[in-house]
Protein backbone atom coordinates (compact mmCIF):
# COMPACT_ATOMS: atom_id res chain seq x y z
CA UNK A 1 0.00 0.00 0.00
CA UNK A 2 1.34 3.41 -0.95
CA UNK A 3 2.15 5.65 2.08
CA UNK A 4 0.24 8.53 0.50
CA UNK A 5 -2.87 6.37 0.00
CA UNK A 6 -3.29 5.43 3.65
CA UNK A 7 -6.84 6.13 4.74
CA UNK A 8 -8.87 5.24 7.78
CA UNK A 9 -11.91 3.20 6.82
CA UNK A 10 -15.20 4.99 6.45
CA UNK A 11 -18.18 3.64 8.37
CA UNK A 12 -16.28 3.05 11.60
CA UNK A 13 -18.23 4.01 14.74
CA UNK A 14 -16.11 6.24 16.99
CA UNK A 15 -16.89 7.33 20.55
CA UNK A 16 -14.79 9.69 22.64
CA UNK A 17 -14.63 9.07 26.38
CA UNK A 18 -12.97 10.81 29.29
CA UNK A 19 -11.69 14.33 29.78
CA UNK A 20 -9.32 16.23 27.53
CA UNK A 21 -6.32 15.33 29.68
CA UNK A 22 -7.13 11.62 29.71
CA UNK A 23 -9.23 10.98 26.63
CA UNK A 24 -9.76 7.60 25.00
CA UNK A 25 -11.45 6.74 21.71
CA UNK A 26 -13.50 3.57 21.26
CA UNK A 27 -13.76 2.42 17.64
CA UNK A 28 -16.25 -0.23 16.56
CA UNK A 29 -15.90 -2.10 13.29
CA UNK A 30 -19.55 -2.67 12.26
CA UNK A 31 -18.50 -5.39 9.81
CA UNK A 32 -16.67 -7.66 12.24
CA UNK A 33 -18.29 -6.38 15.45
CA UNK A 34 -14.86 -5.88 17.04
CA UNK A 35 -13.99 -2.98 19.35
CA UNK A 36 -10.70 -1.10 19.60
CA UNK A 37 -9.50 1.38 22.20
CA UNK A 38 -7.04 4.12 21.24
CA UNK A 39 -5.44 6.76 23.38
CA UNK A 40 -5.52 10.39 22.32
CA UNK A 41 -2.06 10.27 20.72
CA UNK A 42 -2.86 7.12 18.75
CA UNK A 43 -6.18 8.46 17.53
CA UNK A 44 -4.49 11.73 16.51
CA UNK A 45 -2.35 9.76 14.06
CA UNK A 46 -5.21 7.56 12.85
CA UNK A 47 -7.60 10.43 12.06
CA UNK A 48 -4.98 12.15 9.89
CA UNK A 49 -4.84 9.13 7.57
CA UNK A 50 -7.16 10.60 4.94
CA UNK A 51 -5.59 9.12 1.82
CA UNK A 52 -3.70 12.29 0.83
CA UNK A 53 -1.53 13.28 3.82
CA UNK A 54 1.99 11.75 3.71
CA UNK A 55 3.34 10.03 6.79
CA UNK A 56 6.13 12.56 7.35
CA UNK A 57 3.49 15.31 7.56
CA UNK A 58 1.48 13.26 10.05
CA UNK A 59 4.65 12.75 12.08
CA UNK A 60 5.47 16.47 12.08
CA UNK A 61 1.94 17.42 13.17
CA UNK A 62 2.07 14.84 15.96
CA UNK A 63 5.34 16.25 17.29
CA UNK A 64 3.94 19.79 17.18
CA UNK A 65 0.74 18.80 18.99
CA UNK A 66 2.19 16.60 21.75
CA UNK A 67 5.75 17.90 21.97
CA UNK A 68 7.20 14.39 21.68
CA UNK A 69 9.47 12.87 19.07
CA UNK A 70 8.49 9.56 17.50
CA UNK A 71 11.17 6.91 17.25
CA UNK A 72 12.53 5.61 13.99
CA UNK A 73 9.84 3.67 12.16
CA UNK A 74 7.39 3.91 15.07
CA UNK A 75 4.66 5.56 13.03
CA UNK A 76 5.14 2.98 10.26
CA UNK A 77 4.67 0.12 12.74
CA UNK A 78 1.53 1.78 14.08
CA UNK A 79 0.09 2.11 10.58
CA UNK A 80 0.93 -1.53 9.84
CA UNK A 81 -0.92 -2.47 13.03
CA UNK A 82 -3.99 -0.53 11.86
CA UNK A 83 -3.82 -2.38 8.56
CA UNK A 84 -3.62 -5.78 10.29
CA UNK A 85 -6.65 -4.85 12.38
CA UNK A 86 -8.59 -4.07 9.20
CA UNK A 87 -9.11 -0.37 10.01
CA UNK A 88 -7.56 1.00 6.80
CA UNK A 89 -9.10 1.17 3.34
CA UNK A 90 -7.88 -1.57 1.00
CA UNK A 91 -6.78 -0.91 -2.57
CA UNK A 92 -9.26 -3.53 -3.73
CA UNK A 93 -12.79 -2.51 -2.80
CA UNK A 94 -13.76 -6.12 -2.19
CA UNK A 95 -13.76 -6.70 1.56
CA UNK A 96 -12.00 -9.74 2.94
CA UNK A 97 -14.26 -12.71 3.47
CA UNK A 98 -15.12 -12.98 7.14
CA UNK A 99 -14.83 -16.36 8.81
CA UNK A 100 -18.16 -17.69 10.05
CA UNK A 101 -18.87 -16.84 13.68
CA UNK A 102 -18.09 -19.82 15.88
CA UNK A 103 -20.94 -21.28 17.86
CA UNK A 104 -18.57 -22.54 20.57
CA UNK A 105 -15.67 -20.45 21.83
CA UNK A 106 -13.31 -20.35 24.78
CA UNK A 107 -11.45 -23.00 26.76
CA UNK A 108 -12.48 -25.94 28.91
CA UNK A 109 -12.77 -23.67 31.95
CA UNK A 110 -14.64 -20.92 30.08
CA UNK A 111 -16.86 -22.21 27.26
CA UNK A 112 -19.24 -19.89 25.41
CA UNK A 113 -22.09 -21.23 23.24
CA UNK A 114 -23.73 -18.71 20.90
CA UNK A 115 -27.52 -19.18 20.80
CA UNK A 116 -29.24 -16.36 18.85
CA UNK A 117 -29.30 -12.64 17.93
CA UNK A 118 -31.79 -10.93 20.31
CA UNK A 119 -31.59 -7.39 18.87
CA UNK A 120 -35.02 -7.33 17.16
CA UNK A 121 -36.69 -9.01 20.13
CA UNK A 122 -35.24 -6.41 22.50
CA UNK A 123 -36.43 -3.59 20.22
CA UNK A 124 -39.99 -4.89 20.55
CA UNK A 125 -39.72 -5.42 24.30
CA UNK A 126 -38.04 -2.11 25.21
CA UNK A 127 -41.21 0.10 25.00
CA UNK A 128 -43.19 -2.39 27.10
CA UNK A 129 -40.65 -2.32 29.95
CA UNK A 130 -40.01 1.41 30.02
CA UNK A 131 -41.32 1.62 33.60
CA UNK A 132 -38.24 -0.23 34.85
CA UNK A 133 -36.09 2.74 33.80
CA UNK A 134 -38.01 5.38 35.73
CA UNK A 135 -37.25 6.88 39.19
CA UNK A 136 -40.48 5.29 40.46
CA UNK A 137 -39.15 1.77 39.88
CA UNK A 138 -35.81 2.71 41.44
CA UNK A 139 -37.54 3.85 44.64
CA UNK A 140 -39.85 0.81 44.62
CA UNK A 141 -36.97 -1.62 44.08
CA UNK A 142 -34.82 -0.09 46.83
CA UNK A 143 -37.74 -0.31 49.29
CA UNK A 144 -38.37 -3.93 48.25
CA UNK A 145 -34.71 -4.87 48.72
CA UNK A 146 -34.58 -3.25 52.17
CA UNK A 147 -37.77 -5.08 53.16
CA UNK A 148 -36.32 -8.37 51.90
CA UNK A 149 -33.14 -7.81 53.92
CA UNK A 150 -35.17 -7.09 57.07
CA UNK A 151 -37.23 -10.29 56.64
CA UNK A 152 -34.05 -12.31 56.05
CA UNK A 153 -32.48 -11.05 59.28
CA UNK A 154 -35.62 -11.55 61.37
CA UNK A 155 -36.63 -14.92 59.89
CA UNK A 156 -33.18 -16.40 59.34
CA UNK A 157 -33.78 -19.60 61.33
CA UNK A 158 -37.06 -20.29 59.54
CA UNK A 159 -35.42 -19.69 56.14
CA UNK A 160 -32.59 -22.11 56.92
CA UNK A 161 -35.10 -24.73 58.09
CA UNK A 162 -37.21 -24.43 54.92
CA UNK A 163 -34.17 -24.42 52.61
CA UNK A 164 -33.04 -27.73 54.12
CA UNK A 165 -36.40 -29.22 53.16
CA UNK A 166 -35.88 -28.23 49.50
CA UNK A 167 -33.68 -31.23 48.73
CA UNK A 168 -36.38 -33.47 47.31
CA UNK A 169 -35.98 -35.41 44.09
CA UNK A 170 -39.57 -34.79 42.94
CA UNK A 171 -39.05 -31.01 43.06
CA UNK A 172 -35.79 -30.84 41.10
CA UNK A 173 -37.46 -30.12 37.73
CA UNK A 174 -39.47 -27.19 39.11
CA UNK A 175 -36.38 -25.80 40.84
CA UNK A 176 -34.33 -26.07 37.63
CA UNK A 177 -37.03 -24.30 35.59
CA UNK A 178 -37.26 -21.52 38.18
CA UNK A 179 -33.49 -20.98 38.09
CA UNK A 180 -33.56 -20.97 34.29
CA UNK A 181 -36.26 -18.29 34.19
CA UNK A 182 -34.48 -16.07 36.74
CA UNK A 183 -31.19 -16.36 34.85
CA UNK A 184 -32.91 -15.49 31.56
CA UNK A 185 -34.48 -12.40 33.16
CA UNK A 186 -31.05 -11.44 34.49
CA UNK A 187 -29.53 -11.46 31.00
CA UNK A 188 -32.53 -9.73 29.43
CA UNK A 189 -32.09 -6.97 32.02
CA UNK A 190 -28.60 -6.38 30.61
CA UNK A 191 -29.89 -6.35 27.05
CA UNK A 192 -32.90 -4.11 27.72
CA UNK A 193 -30.75 -1.59 29.60
CA UNK A 194 -28.29 -1.44 26.71
CA UNK A 195 -31.19 -1.05 24.27
CA UNK A 196 -32.72 1.68 26.49
CA UNK A 197 -29.52 3.71 26.03
CA UNK A 198 -29.74 3.12 22.24
CA UNK A 199 -27.15 0.37 22.01
CA UNK A 200 -27.37 -2.83 19.96
CA UNK A 201 -27.27 -6.38 21.30
CA UNK A 202 -26.46 -9.10 18.77
CA UNK A 203 -25.40 -12.06 20.87
CA UNK A 204 -26.98 -14.10 23.64
CA UNK A 205 -26.12 -17.63 24.66
CA UNK A 206 -24.96 -20.16 27.23
CA UNK A 207 -21.78 -20.30 29.37
CA UNK A 208 -19.82 -22.97 31.21
CA UNK A 209 -17.47 -21.19 33.62
CA UNK A 210 -15.41 -23.45 35.90
CA UNK A 211 -17.90 -26.21 34.91
CA UNK A 212 -20.80 -24.15 36.30
CA UNK A 213 -23.71 -23.42 33.86
CA UNK A 214 -24.72 -19.81 33.19
CA UNK A 215 -26.19 -17.54 30.51
CA UNK A 216 -24.62 -14.49 28.91
CA UNK A 217 -25.69 -11.43 26.94
CA UNK A 218 -23.08 -9.58 24.88
CA UNK A 219 -23.61 -5.86 25.56
CA UNK A 220 -20.29 -4.67 24.12
CA UNK A 221 -22.06 -1.70 22.52
CA UNK A 222 -22.11 -0.15 25.99
CA UNK A 223 -18.41 0.65 25.44
CA UNK A 224 -19.54 3.27 22.93
CA UNK A 225 -21.54 5.21 25.53
CA UNK A 226 -19.65 8.41 26.42
CA UNK A 227 -21.33 8.57 29.83
CA UNK A 228 -19.61 6.40 32.41
CA UNK A 229 -22.84 6.09 34.43
CA UNK A 230 -24.66 4.46 31.50
CA UNK A 231 -21.90 1.91 31.02
CA UNK A 232 -22.03 1.05 34.71
CA UNK A 233 -25.83 0.71 34.67
CA UNK A 234 -25.71 -1.70 31.72
CA UNK A 235 -23.23 -3.87 33.61
CA UNK A 236 -25.05 -3.65 36.95
CA UNK A 237 -28.61 -4.05 35.59
CA UNK A 238 -28.66 -7.86 35.58
CA UNK A 239 -27.37 -8.29 39.12
CA UNK A 240 -29.58 -5.47 40.44
CA UNK A 241 -32.73 -6.93 38.87
CA UNK A 242 -31.93 -10.39 40.24
CA UNK A 243 -31.46 -8.91 43.73
CA UNK A 244 -34.86 -7.25 43.29
CA UNK A 245 -36.38 -10.63 42.35
CA UNK A 246 -34.74 -12.19 45.40
CA UNK A 247 -36.27 -9.54 47.69
CA UNK A 248 -39.68 -9.94 46.04
CA UNK A 249 -39.52 -13.72 46.51
CA UNK A 250 -38.56 -13.22 50.17
CA UNK A 251 -41.64 -11.06 50.78
CA UNK A 252 -43.90 -13.57 49.00
CA UNK A 253 -42.44 -16.45 51.04
CA UNK A 254 -43.24 -14.55 54.24
CA UNK A 255 -46.83 -13.77 53.22
CA UNK A 256 -48.08 -17.04 51.71
CA UNK A 257 -49.02 -20.23 53.52
CA UNK A 258 -46.00 -22.58 53.80
CA UNK A 259 -46.07 -25.90 52.01
CA UNK A 260 -47.72 -24.93 48.69
CA UNK A 261 -46.04 -24.49 45.32
CA UNK A 262 -45.94 -20.67 45.55
CA UNK A 263 -43.98 -20.87 48.80
CA UNK A 264 -41.66 -23.47 47.29
CA UNK A 265 -41.04 -21.37 44.17
CA UNK A 266 -40.29 -18.28 46.25
CA UNK A 267 -37.93 -20.29 48.42
CA UNK A 268 -36.04 -21.62 45.38
CA UNK A 269 -35.56 -18.08 44.03
CA UNK A 270 -34.44 -16.89 47.47
CA UNK A 271 -31.84 -19.63 47.83
CA UNK A 272 -30.45 -19.61 44.29
CA UNK A 273 -30.55 -15.87 43.55
CA UNK A 274 -28.98 -14.96 46.88
CA UNK A 275 -25.99 -17.25 46.34
CA UNK A 276 -25.72 -16.39 42.63
CA UNK A 277 -25.70 -12.65 43.32
CA UNK A 278 -22.77 -13.01 45.71
CA UNK A 279 -20.93 -15.16 43.16
CA UNK A 280 -21.88 -12.94 40.22
CA UNK A 281 -20.70 -9.71 41.87
CA UNK A 282 -17.30 -11.21 42.69
CA UNK A 283 -14.83 -9.03 40.69
CA UNK A 284 -12.11 -11.70 40.71
CA UNK A 285 -13.81 -13.83 38.02
CA UNK A 286 -15.13 -12.68 34.64
CA UNK A 287 -18.75 -12.09 35.55
CA UNK A 288 -20.74 -8.91 36.21
CA UNK A 289 -18.61 -7.85 39.17
CA UNK A 290 -15.46 -7.98 37.05
CA UNK A 291 -16.91 -5.90 34.21
CA UNK A 292 -18.39 -3.46 36.73
CA UNK A 293 -14.95 -2.92 38.29
CA UNK A 294 -13.30 -2.70 34.87
CA UNK A 295 -15.77 -0.03 33.70
CA UNK A 296 -15.51 1.88 36.98
CA UNK A 297 -11.70 1.97 36.81
CA UNK A 298 -11.89 2.62 33.03
CA UNK A 299 -9.33 -0.12 32.40
CA UNK A 300 -10.54 -2.51 29.66
CA UNK A 301 -9.27 -6.10 29.65
CA UNK A 302 -8.31 -5.63 33.29
CA UNK A 303 -7.66 -9.29 34.01
CA UNK A 304 -5.48 -9.95 30.94
CA UNK A 305 -3.52 -6.73 31.38
CA UNK A 306 -2.93 -7.43 35.07
CA UNK A 307 -1.65 -10.95 34.42
CA UNK A 308 0.52 -9.77 31.49
CA UNK A 309 1.99 -7.00 33.64
CA UNK A 310 2.80 -9.35 36.55
CA UNK A 311 4.22 -11.94 34.14
CA UNK A 312 6.55 -9.39 32.54
CA UNK A 313 7.65 -8.06 35.94
CA UNK A 314 8.36 -11.61 37.10
CA UNK A 315 10.52 -12.24 34.02
CA UNK A 316 12.40 -9.01 34.68
CA UNK A 317 12.97 -10.07 38.29
CA UNK A 318 14.32 -13.48 37.22
CA UNK A 319 16.42 -12.42 34.23
CA UNK A 320 17.36 -8.91 35.36
CA UNK A 321 16.60 -7.64 31.85
CA UNK A 322 14.24 -4.70 31.43
CA UNK A 323 11.43 -5.59 28.99
CA UNK A 324 10.16 -2.79 26.76
CA UNK A 325 6.37 -2.42 26.70
CA UNK A 326 4.56 -0.82 23.75
CA UNK A 327 1.92 0.59 26.13
CA UNK A 328 3.85 1.39 29.31
CA UNK A 329 1.29 1.72 32.15
CA UNK A 330 1.31 4.83 34.29
CA UNK A 331 1.62 4.83 38.07
CA UNK A 332 -2.13 4.39 38.65
CA UNK A 333 -2.38 1.51 36.19
CA UNK A 334 0.68 -0.23 37.69
CA UNK A 335 -0.93 -0.08 41.13
CA UNK A 336 -4.23 -1.44 39.77
CA UNK A 337 -2.54 -4.23 37.79
CA UNK A 338 -0.46 -5.33 40.78
CA UNK A 339 -3.28 -5.43 43.33
CA UNK A 340 -5.90 -6.96 41.03
CA UNK A 341 -3.50 -9.42 39.40
CA UNK A 342 -2.33 -10.81 42.75
CA UNK A 343 -5.86 -11.11 44.17
CA UNK A 344 -7.39 -12.58 41.00
CA UNK A 345 -4.52 -15.03 40.52
CA UNK A 346 -4.67 -16.21 44.13
CA UNK A 347 -8.46 -16.61 43.98
CA UNK A 348 -8.48 -18.40 40.60
CA UNK A 349 -5.76 -20.89 41.51
CA UNK A 350 -7.32 -21.54 44.91
CA UNK A 351 -10.72 -22.17 43.30
CA UNK A 352 -9.20 -24.45 40.65
CA UNK A 353 -7.28 -26.33 43.34
CA UNK A 354 -10.41 -26.89 45.44
CA UNK A 355 -12.43 -28.02 42.40
CA UNK A 356 -9.64 -30.33 41.23
CA UNK A 357 -9.12 -31.85 44.68
CA UNK A 358 -12.84 -32.47 45.23
CA UNK A 359 -13.29 -34.04 41.79
CA UNK A 360 -10.09 -36.06 42.16
CA UNK A 361 -11.12 -37.45 45.54
CA UNK A 362 -14.57 -38.32 44.25
CA UNK A 363 -13.30 -40.11 41.12
CA UNK A 364 -10.54 -42.02 42.93
CA UNK A 365 -12.82 -43.04 45.80
CA UNK A 366 -15.53 -44.16 43.38
CA UNK A 367 -13.50 -45.81 40.59
CA UNK A 368 -10.05 -46.35 42.19
CA UNK A 369 -7.32 -46.69 39.49
CA UNK A 370 -9.72 -45.92 36.63
CA UNK A 371 -10.81 -42.79 38.46
CA UNK A 372 -7.16 -41.75 38.84
CA UNK A 373 -6.57 -42.23 35.11
CA UNK A 374 -9.75 -40.31 34.25
CA UNK A 375 -8.81 -37.46 36.59
CA UNK A 376 -5.31 -37.29 35.11
CA UNK A 377 -6.73 -37.16 31.57
CA UNK A 378 -9.14 -34.36 32.48
CA UNK A 379 -6.31 -32.44 34.15
CA UNK A 380 -4.14 -32.76 31.04
CA UNK A 381 -6.97 -31.54 28.81
CA UNK A 382 -7.63 -28.56 31.09
CA UNK A 383 -3.93 -27.63 31.28
CA UNK A 384 -2.97 -28.45 27.71
CA UNK A 385 -2.35 -24.85 26.60
CA UNK A 386 -0.07 -23.85 29.53
CA UNK A 387 1.78 -27.19 29.32
CA UNK A 388 2.24 -26.84 25.56
CA UNK A 389 3.57 -23.30 25.90
CA UNK A 390 5.93 -24.24 28.73
CA UNK A 391 7.22 -27.34 26.91
CA UNK A 392 7.94 -25.31 23.77
CA UNK A 393 9.97 -22.80 25.75
CA UNK A 394 11.89 -25.54 27.57
CA UNK A 395 12.53 -27.68 24.48
CA UNK A 396 13.40 -24.80 22.12
CA UNK A 397 17.13 -24.71 23.11
CA UNK A 398 17.34 -28.52 22.97
CA UNK A 399 15.71 -28.58 19.54
CA UNK A 400 18.09 -25.94 18.19
CA UNK A 401 21.06 -28.04 19.31
CA UNK A 402 19.61 -31.24 17.84
CA UNK A 403 19.37 -29.58 14.43
CA UNK A 404 23.17 -29.31 14.36
CA UNK A 405 23.65 -32.99 15.28
CA UNK A 406 24.47 -35.41 12.46
CA UNK A 407 22.16 -38.28 11.49
CA UNK A 408 24.13 -41.10 13.17
CA UNK A 409 24.58 -39.17 16.39
CA UNK A 410 20.92 -38.16 16.42
CA UNK A 411 19.92 -41.80 16.02
CA UNK A 412 22.16 -42.77 18.94
CA UNK A 413 20.60 -40.07 21.13
CA UNK A 414 17.09 -41.30 20.28
CA UNK A 415 18.04 -44.90 21.11
CA UNK A 416 19.55 -43.78 24.42
CA UNK A 417 16.41 -41.83 25.33
CA UNK A 418 14.20 -44.80 24.39
CA UNK A 419 16.36 -47.16 26.49
CA UNK A 420 16.19 -44.78 29.45
CA UNK A 421 12.40 -44.55 29.15
CA UNK A 422 11.99 -48.34 28.97
CA UNK A 423 14.31 -48.82 31.94
CA UNK A 424 12.31 -46.34 33.97
CA UNK A 425 9.06 -48.12 33.05
CA UNK A 426 10.14 -51.71 33.76
CA UNK A 427 12.81 -51.25 36.44
CA UNK A 428 11.51 -48.23 38.27
CA UNK A 429 9.44 -48.67 41.42
CA UNK A 430 6.81 -46.23 42.59
CA UNK A 431 4.15 -46.86 45.19
CA UNK A 432 0.59 -46.12 44.18
CA UNK A 433 -1.52 -44.84 47.06
CA UNK A 434 -5.26 -44.86 46.45
CA UNK A 435 -7.69 -43.38 48.97
CA UNK A 436 -10.88 -45.42 49.39
CA UNK A 437 -13.15 -46.88 52.04
CA UNK A 438 -12.15 -50.31 53.40
CA UNK A 439 -12.84 -52.72 56.30
CA UNK A 440 -10.31 -54.51 58.50
CA UNK A 441 -11.49 -57.95 59.70
CA UNK A 442 -9.62 -60.17 62.22
CA UNK A 443 -8.24 -63.55 61.21
CA UNK A 444 -9.71 -65.18 64.33
CA UNK A 445 -12.85 -63.90 65.95
CA UNK A 446 -13.97 -64.93 69.46
CA UNK A 447 -17.23 -63.74 70.94
CA UNK A 448 -17.79 -63.23 74.67
CA UNK A 449 -21.33 -64.11 75.71
CA UNK A 450 -23.01 -63.74 79.09
CA UNK A 451 -24.60 -66.88 80.45
CA UNK A 452 -27.47 -64.94 82.02
CA UNK A 453 -29.58 -62.03 80.83
CA UNK A 454 -28.90 -58.57 82.19
CA UNK A 455 -27.87 -55.00 81.54
CA UNK A 456 -24.18 -54.01 81.30
CA UNK A 457 -23.49 -51.96 84.40
CA UNK A 458 -19.77 -51.29 83.92
CA UNK A 459 -17.04 -52.13 81.37
CA UNK A 460 -13.49 -52.72 82.63
CA UNK A 461 -11.55 -52.94 79.31
CA UNK A 462 -11.09 -50.64 76.30
CA UNK A 463 -11.30 -51.41 72.59
CA UNK A 464 -8.16 -53.15 71.22
CA UNK A 465 -6.93 -53.94 74.76
CA UNK A 466 -5.32 -57.38 75.24
CA UNK A 467 -7.20 -59.59 77.76
CA UNK A 468 -6.45 -62.98 79.23
CA UNK A 469 -8.56 -65.87 80.36
CA UNK A 470 -10.29 -65.11 83.63
CA UNK A 471 -10.00 -61.29 83.36
CA UNK A 472 -13.04 -59.28 84.39
CA UNK A 473 -14.46 -57.75 81.23
CA UNK A 474 -17.78 -56.27 82.30
CA UNK A 475 -20.30 -56.33 85.11
CA UNK A 476 -23.96 -57.11 84.42
CA UNK A 477 -26.94 -55.79 86.29
CA UNK A 478 -30.49 -57.18 86.27
CA UNK A 479 -32.93 -54.93 88.09
CA UNK A 480 -35.77 -57.45 88.10
CA UNK A 481 -33.63 -60.13 89.71
CA UNK A 482 -32.28 -57.62 92.23
CA UNK A 483 -35.80 -56.55 93.08
CA UNK A 484 -36.91 -60.16 93.56
CA UNK A 485 -33.77 -60.82 95.60
CA UNK A 486 -34.53 -57.90 97.89
CA UNK A 487 -38.09 -59.15 98.34
CA UNK A 488 -36.82 -62.61 99.22
CA UNK A 489 -34.26 -61.14 101.62
CA UNK A 490 -36.97 -58.99 103.26
CA UNK A 491 -39.30 -62.01 103.59
CA UNK A 492 -36.42 -64.06 104.99
CA UNK A 493 -35.63 -61.40 107.59
CA UNK A 494 -39.32 -61.19 108.51
CA UNK A 495 -39.54 -64.96 108.95
CA UNK A 496 -36.35 -64.93 111.02
CA UNK A 497 -37.80 -62.22 113.28
CA UNK A 498 -40.99 -64.26 113.82
CA UNK A 499 -38.89 -67.32 114.60
CA UNK A 500 -36.94 -65.43 117.25
CA UNK A 501 -40.19 -64.21 118.81
CA UNK A 502 -41.58 -67.75 118.95
CA UNK A 503 -38.41 -69.06 120.55
CA UNK A 504 -38.62 -66.48 123.34
CA UNK A 505 -42.15 -67.54 124.14
CA UNK A 506 -45.06 -65.42 125.40
CA UNK A 507 -44.44 -62.34 127.55
CA UNK A 508 -45.57 -62.22 131.18
CA UNK A 509 -48.23 -59.66 130.38
CA UNK A 510 -49.76 -62.15 127.96
Of 298, 324, 349, the residue at which a domain comes to its end is 298
- 19 inside domain: yes
Of 298, 331, 350, the residue at which a domain comes to its end is 298
- 232 inside domain: yes
- 362 inside domain: no
**DSSP state letters, 392-423:** HHHHHHHHHHHHTS-HHHHHHHHHHHHHHHHH
108 and 224, same structural domain? Answer: yes
Report how far residue 272's alpha carbon sits from residue 119's, in angstroms, rounded to the nearest whole number. Answer: 28
In this prediction, residue 341 carries a pLDDT of 92
- 23 inside domain: yes
Of 275, 298, 321, the residue at which a domain comes to its end is 298
Range of the domain at 198: 104-298
- 320 inside domain: no
Task: Bin 210: left if φ > 0, else alpha if -120 < ψ < 50, else beta.
Answer: left
- 377 inside domain: no
163 and 276, same structural domain? Answer: yes
Report how far residue 237's alpha carbon sits from residue 187's, in angstroms, rounded to the nearest whole number. Answer: 9
In this prediction, residue 106 carries a pLDDT of 66
151 and 54, same structural domain? Answer: no
46 and 125, same structural domain? Answer: no
76 and 126, same structural domain? Answer: no
134 and 250, same structural domain? Answer: yes
Three-state SS sequence of 167-204 = CCHHHHHHHHHHHHHHHHHHHHHHHHHHHHCCCCCCEE
- 282 inside domain: yes
265 and 179, same structural domain? Answer: yes
What backbone torsions phi and psi does residue 294 show, to the nearest 5 degrees? -60, -45
In this prediction, residue 85 carries a pLDDT of 87
130 and 57, same structural domain? Answer: no
The alpha-helical segments, DSSP class H, found in 281-406 are 288-297, 302-319, 331-382, 384-403
125 and 256, same structural domain? Answer: yes
In this prediction, residue 393 carries a pLDDT of 65
**In a 3-state reduction of DSSP, which class is residue 376?**
helix
In this prediction, residue 434 carries a pLDDT of 61
In this prediction, residue 153 carries a pLDDT of 92
Q: What is the mean pLDDT of each successive set of 10 residues along the chain, which is 510 residues long?
A: 70 79 81 85 85 83 79 80 85 54 65 82 91 93 95 90 76 80 91 92 80 79 88 92 94 87 88 85 88 88 89 80 67 90 91 85 78 79 70 63 63 80 75 70 76 77 81 79 80 83 68
53 and 123, same structural domain? Answer: no
Report how far residue 238's alpha carbon sits from residue 193's, in angstroms, rounded to the nearest whole number. Answer: 9
Q: Are strands 35-39 and 104-107 parallel, antiparallel or unpaired?
A: unpaired
In this prediction, residue 430 carries a pLDDT of 66
Measured from the Cβ of residue 362, the count of other Cβ atoms closer than 10 Å reads: 12
Which residue from 213, 228, 220 is spatially nearest to 190, judged by alpha carbons? 220
In this prediction, residue 151 carries a pLDDT of 94
Contact 48, 66 (CB under 8 A): no
- 418 inside domain: no
When divided into structural domains, the chain yields a total of 3
**DSSP state letters, 202-261:** -EEEEEEETTEEEEEEE-GGGGG-S-HHHHHHHHHHHHHHHHHHHHHHHHHHHHSPTTSH
In this prediction, residue 396 carries a pLDDT of 63
117 and 72, same structural domain? Answer: no
286 and 148, same structural domain? Answer: yes
In this prediction, residue 343 carries a pLDDT of 94
In this prediction, residue 251 carries a pLDDT of 94
Contact 490, 478 (CB under 8 A): no
Amino acid sequence: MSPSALKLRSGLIISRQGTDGNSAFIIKDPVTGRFFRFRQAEYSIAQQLDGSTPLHVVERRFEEQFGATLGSGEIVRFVERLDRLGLLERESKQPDALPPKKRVRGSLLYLRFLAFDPNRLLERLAPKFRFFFTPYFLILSIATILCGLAITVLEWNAIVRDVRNLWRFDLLLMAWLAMLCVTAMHEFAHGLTCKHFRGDVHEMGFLLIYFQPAFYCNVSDAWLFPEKSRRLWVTFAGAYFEIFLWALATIIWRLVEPGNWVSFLALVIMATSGIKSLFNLNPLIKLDGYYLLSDYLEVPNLRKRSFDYLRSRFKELITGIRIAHPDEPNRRERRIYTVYGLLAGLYSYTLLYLVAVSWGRFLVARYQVYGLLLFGSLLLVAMRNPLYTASRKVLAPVRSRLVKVTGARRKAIRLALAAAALSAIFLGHMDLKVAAEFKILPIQNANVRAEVAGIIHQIYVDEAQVVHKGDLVARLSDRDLLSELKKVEAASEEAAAKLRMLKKGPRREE
